[in-house]
Chains A and B, each alone.
Chain A
Amino acid sequence: METAITAEVDEFEAVVRTHRQRIFRFALASLRDRDAAESVTQDCLFKAYKSWSQFRGDSSVLTWLMRIAVNLIRDATNSRRFRFWKMRAVSIDSVSDWISDSGRSPEEQVRAKQQVEAIWRICDLLSERQRTVFLLHFMEEMDASQIEAVTGITKSAIKVHLFRAVHLVRSELKEWR
């Protein structure tokens, strides 16, 4: 009995090691709040741990965890309407500050930074649902079927959400071509 529990804990620890970073990244990109992203990540893993024994492998572990994370992020977004202030506000640097130079010239580096900033700005303009789909595809590299499994949004609706976002990105990036 004890051995079985230990094996289960070890198994779940491996899941945490493999997926924690990804859940955190998705939560941080969605909420832009370090504390809230950490909280969502913890809650997500805690919920997953509680129901780990019932996980039957109908979907991949990542899909299952992301589904939990998407729901928690939605709750966190809703609760923000009632946040009167922001405690210990964390200034999160723009993503564009984290582009490695990879041997680019200063001009190329500036252009790359502007492109990433433009995509980030557009991501901010999207509705919550569109942003979720956008991030799952362009940040987490999930295809339409995986996004459908995570969000429950149909493939055709996912394509419409992505099309709208790509259309905005396309017109924004035209000037940097």
Chain B
Amino acid sequence: MNEHLSSQQITNLLLDEVSETEQRHLSECASCRAELDHLRNAFSLYRRAGQEWSEHWMTQGASARQPSGPRWFGWWAVGSALTIAALAAVFVFLPSTTFQRAREEPFVSIPYVVPAASYERTQVIRMEVPVAALRSSGMAVQTRDAGNSVRADVLVGQDGRALAVRLVERRLN
């Protein structure tokens, strides 16, 4: 008997494109028949598991993501309020010369990102953004160390993608 079927021939069989040679070999070789059955079975399992998995996330996704119950919310609200108060105090009492504010900076769109759709919810989040990421989005940030980060406002789409960015301060950490 000839050599066993190659991956290319197995792929043809999985695509239901069977040549006479492959068919003849299959009828004579129990090992290749077993391997083909094994692969078909594994791919079928993969497909069925994928269907169940995606159905779960489609139907349960939204509710499963949200932590439930009012108790955590109460503590979360208190924590958030205290954090906001503390931040406000820092900003009020901090000398204005500590860092340069860049309030007038416009938002710069991040390339290769699908723009926000008209129905899409967006929000602005302030965060420390790596300089390397800002440079790749076309912003000029002066620093010798590209590993630095800088505070910026990021416009975020409904699915969490960053749409645009604006520097809040130019002082590097």
Contacts and interface: CB of A to CB of B under 8 A. Distances in A.
B55 A166 contact: no
Contact of A21 (B12, B47, B55): B55
A69 interface: no
B81 to A, nearest CB: 21
A56 interface: no
Interface in B97-152: 110-114, 117, 119, 125, 127, 129-130, 133, 136-137
A38 B159 contact: yes
B42 interface: yes
Q: Chain B contact residues: over half helix, strand or loop, or mixed? A: helix
A139 B38 contact: no
A88 B61 contact: no
Contacts of A107: none
Given A115-B42, A119-B42, A163-B8, A25 B130 contact: no
Nearest to A99: B49
Most buried by A among B10, B35, B50, B161: B50
Contacts, number: 154
Contact-residue bracket for chain B: 35 or more
Contact of B46 (A90, A97, A138, A159): A138
Interface string A107-119: 0000010011011
Interface residues of A, number: 58
A97 B45 CA distance: 11
A39 B158 contact: yes
A169 B38 CA distance: 11
B11 A87 contact: no
B51 interface: yes
B48 A99 contact: yes
Nearest to B56: A98
28 contacts: A24-B54, A28-B54, A29-B50, A38-B61, A39-B157, A72-B114, A75-B114, A82-B110, A82-B162, A88-B65, A88-B160, A90-B65, A92-B57, A95-B50, A97-B53, A98-B52, A99-B48, A115-B42, A116-B49, A138-B46, A139-B46, A141-B47, A159-B15, A162-B11, A163-B8, A163-B11, A166-B7, A177-B38
Interface of A: 21, 24-25, 28-29, 33-39, 43, 46, 72, 75-76, 78-88, 90, 92-93, 95-100, 112, 115-116, 118-120, 137-139, 141, 143-144, 159, 162-163, 166-167, 169-170, 173, 177
